[in-house]
């Protein structure tokens, strides 16, 4: 692929002024894209400066900007998760927050990122990863471009896959799949009966989360994730400190009607479902800022939210074939009926996880987006 353009120069960023250009670059690249949802600039600033950012607290990182003359044409973050490398016994580095207007700029950005990682002993470069451990920037969208992203769903133009693959990267072989669920006007009687039977047969219940007892609920989530999280290449179960940080970040938009904990009749936590109102329906109208009119728009448009994004869904292994997920989704569906919610977007599931993909389809999910993580030997 040949593009006749001026070569891009790459700079590592250190000043607040330069980091602001890094944050604001997507506004120029996506201004004609009707599906792009501008993030809050203040939130992106916190991410790239390390505030509320677990990945950047686990190792070194660098921000790079591609420029032609005075115009910014691309960006990338290079980072190393030393904590994860120590646990997994490997030398991986990552790229994140990748954006580029064309292939030559993409090549120079990734080349610079790879050299930075190589100098620090990394043997593989993977990405894009999420710097804040959410789905928001994890993986490259490779299918499902016609539908705007829900809250904490990654988004990019279709040609980014060509850019990254042309730079020598290949998919890691296990795409992440996203399903959405239309809420039926009436919950079928057979589902109600089956869930009630499972709860009685196996001795468990589903409780609405009590956000006034936040630490208790976080302890439940921590124990469930410790037991249930698969050995994913780029994640390990979060610490309680990281969960408390996540809770502080999400609490302003959290709604207990969409958060459920499954417990045995003896009170042992066995499953957790965390759904959030799809605030991307609000962010779409804010253009990245709450000032001067953003607060008024937020208050107006949040009343019109008609979708939920399931952000976390785990069931401990010994309970995974006992309809616990179905029971939590049933309570979520009931809440959606009460609140006028028409659509639920599920948390992403790796393609190789056949049981969870079967569950997603079993509760009415339809595949609507596919994300890919790339890697390259260094």
2: confidence class by pLDDT, cuts 50, 70, 90: very low
| Mean pLDDT to the nearest integer, 363-375 | 94
What's the predicted TM-score (pTM) here?
Answer: 0.93
DSSP string, 346-357: PPPEETT-HHHH
Handedness of CA 28, 31, 32, 34 (dihedral sign): positive
Per DSSP, the three-state class of 361 is helix
Distances from the Cα of 143 to the Cα of 39, 362, 365, angstroms: 21, 22, 16
Half-sphere exposure of 358 (CA within 13 A, CB side): 7
Give the tokens for residue 323: 């309809």
Mean pLDDT of the chain: 93
Domain 9-172 has CATH 3.40.630.30: yes
Domain(s) of CATH 3.40.630.30: residues in the chain: 9-172, 184-341
Handedness of CA 303, 306, 312, 313 (dihedral sign): positive
Q: Is it the case that residue 143 has pLDDT exceeding 50?
A: yes
Architecture of the CATH domain 184-341: 3-Layer(aba) Sandwich (3.40)
Model confidence pLDDT, tens digit, residues 47-68: 898 776 666 777 899 999 999 9
Asked whether the bond before 254 is cis by omega within 30 degrees of 0, the reply is: no
């Amino acid at each position: 692929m040949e593009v006749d353009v001026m070569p891009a120069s790459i700079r590592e960023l250190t000043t607040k002024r330069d980091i602001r250009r890094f944050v604001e670059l997507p506004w120029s690249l996506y201004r004609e894209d009707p599906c792009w949802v501008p993030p809050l600039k203040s939130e992106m600033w916190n991410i790239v400066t390390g505030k509320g950012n677990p990945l950047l607290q686990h190792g070194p990182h660098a921000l790079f900007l591609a420029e032609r003359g005075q115009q910014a044409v691309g960006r990338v973050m290079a980072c190393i998760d030393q904590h994860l490398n120590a646990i997994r016994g490997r030398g991986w580095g990552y790229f994140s927050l990748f954006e580029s207007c064309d292939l030559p700029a993409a090549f120079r950005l990734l080349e610079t990122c790879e050299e930075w990682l190589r100098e620090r002993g990394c043997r593989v470069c993977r990405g894009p990863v999420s710097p804040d451990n959410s789905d928001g920037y994890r993986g490259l969208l490779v299918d499902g471009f016609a539908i705007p992203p829900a809250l904490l769903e990654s988004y990019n133009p279709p040609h980014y896959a060509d850019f990254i693959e042309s730079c020598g990267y290949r998919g890691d072989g296990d795409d992440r799949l996203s399903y959405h669920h239309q809420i039926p006007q009436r919950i079928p009687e057979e589902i109600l009966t089956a869930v009630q039977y499972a709860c009685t047969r196996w001795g468990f219940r589903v409780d609405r989360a009590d956000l006034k007892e936040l630490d208790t609920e976080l302890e439940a989530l921590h124990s469930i994730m410790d037991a249930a999280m698969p050995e994913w290449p780029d994640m390990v179960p979060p610490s309680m400190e990281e969960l408390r940080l996540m809770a502080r970040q999400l609490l302003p938009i959290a709604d207990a009607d969409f958060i459920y904990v499954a417990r045995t009749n003896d009170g042992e936590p066995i499953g957790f479902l965390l759904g959030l109102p799809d605030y991307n329906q609000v962010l779409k109208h804010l253009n990245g800022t709450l000032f001067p009119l953003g607060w008024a728009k937020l208050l107006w448009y949040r009343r019109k939210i008609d979708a939920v994004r399931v952000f976390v869904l785990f069931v401990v292994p010994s309970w995974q074939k006992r309809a616990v997920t179905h029971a939590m989704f049933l309570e979520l569906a009931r809440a959606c009926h009460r609140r006028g919610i028409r659509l639920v977007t599920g948390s992403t599931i790796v393609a190789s996880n056949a049981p969870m993909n079967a569950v997603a389809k079993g509760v009415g999910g339809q595949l609507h987006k596919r994300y890919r993580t790339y890697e390259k030997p260094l």
